[in-house]
Amino acid sequence: MLPATRSCLTRLNSPASTLMRLRIHEGLRPNLGRAMFSSFSQPRQQQKPVQASLIEKTLTKNPKPLVADKDLIFGHTFTDHMLTVPWTKSDGWGKPQIKPYGPLSLDPSCSVFHYAFECFEGLKAYKDANGKIRLFRPNMNMARMNASTQSLNLPQFNGDEMLKCIEELIKTDKRWIPSKPGYSLYIRPAVIATEPTLGVHESRSALFFCICSPCGPYFPTGFTAVKLFANTERVRAWKGGMGNRKVGGNYAPSVLPQVEAAAKGYQQVLWTIGEDYELMEVGTMNLFVYWTNEKGEKELITPELDGTILPGVTRDSILKLAKSWGEFKVTEGKINMKQITKASDENRLHEVFGAGTACVVTPVKAIHFKGKDYDVPLNPNDPSSETGPLTKRLYDTLSKIQYGEIPHEWSITVD
């Protein structure tokens, strides 16, 4: 900041002088004018941070009947309450409210409806054998959400305080967390832009909200390996894009390729990029390949975080676990379809799986690429098995940590 600029500004502090301030800045430093203007246009009063101590709770007068475990379909049932925290550019974060679950009332001009001004998170609450509520590395979700809001010029928040608010919601709806093994409460926080204007510009108001949905195991009758269709026409994300952010705009365009793959008999899309068809992700999961690489080494490899890959909490946990075992090479790097098909032909491909919060891991049994199916082995010692041994071991270890059966710093109790 130039000292001269500062003294100009102390004299120009009425709202009517806003435009003048901009001119002054542009005059002084043409390239920095915009950035400087935005910091000067901040209101004089401090933007309020999220404060969990201010939570206002209104309990429902009509608690809903619980849905039987066997009838739970992912994302169909919601608990009795939700959390909302409003934000405005002038005041910052408002009072967190826990209130009966129900529709939001929003002006149809709100930018969330027109320009995908939205980002979200997905994590789970688990009930352990002692009936305690557990979360798995939730601070990673808070940090990732702040990275997403930052990319959309939506507000950031103090992750610890926001997590306290979410924990209060989960405790309020504790009776909705199923206690059967493999069952959990899926937690969906989101931030939307709520400024009711059609201009494509930053939103001066936003809403954080969080809803919860009880859910069963992704594979209720044990693992079912999936077939992937390598999409060679569309890309999910690209360098400099938003692939590493959980922003709503990334997901709607992924549905048609998914529907087309399903119509051909493939359950998931394998996203690739570039002339070499580098592997990216599987549907909305991170991708892992366990193989004997070209140097003859056993290696677990997942695409590196080059900006096109969603930095999954499950991905990071798998990498750390596998490294701690020290039994094979663990790599974040590049791997392309040519390497996969060659490894498949030479029997060097051992296991392929997707990884994410919803499923933990999803075993893959085949990959379709340019007109041909390449088989991926599952368990060579058990032809009836629907999962490879490493995939299963990772699933078992992570699940036990999540349910508190293996004590680990990643799993925290909430109540």
Ligand X SMILES: *Cc1c(COP(=O)(O)O)cnc(C)c1O
The footprint of ligand X on residues 322-341 (CB under 6 A) is none
The footprint of ligand X on residues 86-115 (CB under 6 A) is none
Among residues 96, 189, 303, 356, the one that binds ligand X under rule CB under 6 A = 356
DSSP H or E segment with residue 262: helix 255-263
User: Residue 286, interface with ligand X (CB under 6 A)?
Assistant: yes
**The two three-digit tokens of residue 10, written as one number:** 């102390």
d(CA 133, CA 412): 8
**The two three-digit tokens of residue 387, written as one number:** 């999962």
Number of residues binding to ligand X, judged by CB under 6 A: 13
- CA distances to 132, 133, 214, 217, 243 from 79, rounded to whole Å, are 18, 15, 7, 18, 30
* 9 φ/ψ angles, rounded to the nearest 5 degrees: -70, -35
User: Residue 281, interface with ligand X (CB under 6 A)?
Assistant: yes
Residues 6+ apart with CB under 8 A from 126: 133, 134, 135, 136, 177, 184, 185, 402, 403, 404, 411
Among residues 217, 312, 363, 404, the one that binds ligand X under rule CB under 6 A = 312
Which 3 state secondary structure label does DSSP give 11? helix
User: Residue 118, interface with ligand X (CB under 6 A)?
Assistant: no
**Pairing relationship of beta strands 133-136 and 226-231 according to DSSP bridges:** unpaired
User: Residue 310, interface with ligand X (CB under 6 A)?
Assistant: yes
Taking CB under 6 A as the binding criterion, the range among 20-28, 170-178, 202-210, 311-319 that sits at the site for ligand X is 311-319
Taking CB under 6 A as the binding criterion, the range among 39-47, 166-174, 305-313, 366-374 that sits at the site for ligand X is 305-313
Closest residue to ligand X in the complex (CB): 312
For residue 172, which amino acid is it? T
Closest CB to ligand X among residues 312, 388: 312
Taking CB under 6 A as the binding criterion, the range among 86-94, 169-177, 280-288, 300-308 that sits at the site for ligand X is 280-288
Which 3 state secondary structure label does DSSP give 314? helix
Smallest gap from residue 23 Cβ to ligand X (A)? 43
User: Residue 189, interface with ligand X (CB under 6 A)?
Assistant: no
Length of the chain: 415
Residues 6+ apart with CB under 8 A from 156: 146, 149, 150
User: Residue 284, interface with ligand X (CB under 6 A)?
Assistant: yes
Paired strand residues for 119: 191, 247
**The two three-digit tokens of residue 315, written as one number:** 């991905």
Smallest gap from residue 282 Cβ to ligand X (A)? 8
Among residues 82, 112, 133, 313, the one that binds ligand X under rule CB under 6 A = 313
The position carrying tokens 């209720």 is: 220
Smallest gap from residue 185 Cβ to ligand X (A)? 15
Smallest gap from residue 311 Cβ to ligand X (A)? 8
User: Residue 137, interface with ligand X (CB under 6 A)?
Assistant: no
Residues 6+ apart with CB under 8 A from 321: 394, 397, 398
Kindly write out the interface string for residues 209-248 of this chain, putting x where it contacts ligand X by CB under 6 A and - elsewhere. Answer: -------------------------------------x--
Among residues 285, 361, 376, 394, the one that binds ligand X under rule CB under 6 A = 285
Among residues 88, 357, 385, 402, the one that binds ligand X under rule CB under 6 A = 357
Closest CB to ligand X among residues 98, 237: 237
**Pairing relationship of beta strands 298-303 and 349-356 according to DSSP bridges:** unpaired
Smallest gap from residue 207 Cβ to ligand X (A)? 21
Contact 202, 194 (CB under 8 A): no
Taking CB under 6 A as the binding criterion, the range among 9-17, 174-182, 213-221, 312-320 that sits at the site for ligand X is 312-320
d(CA 352, CA 335): 12
The footprint of ligand X on residues 243-272 (CB under 6 A) is 246
List of residues contacting ligand X (CB under 6 A)? 122, 246, 281, 284-286, 310, 312-315, 356-357
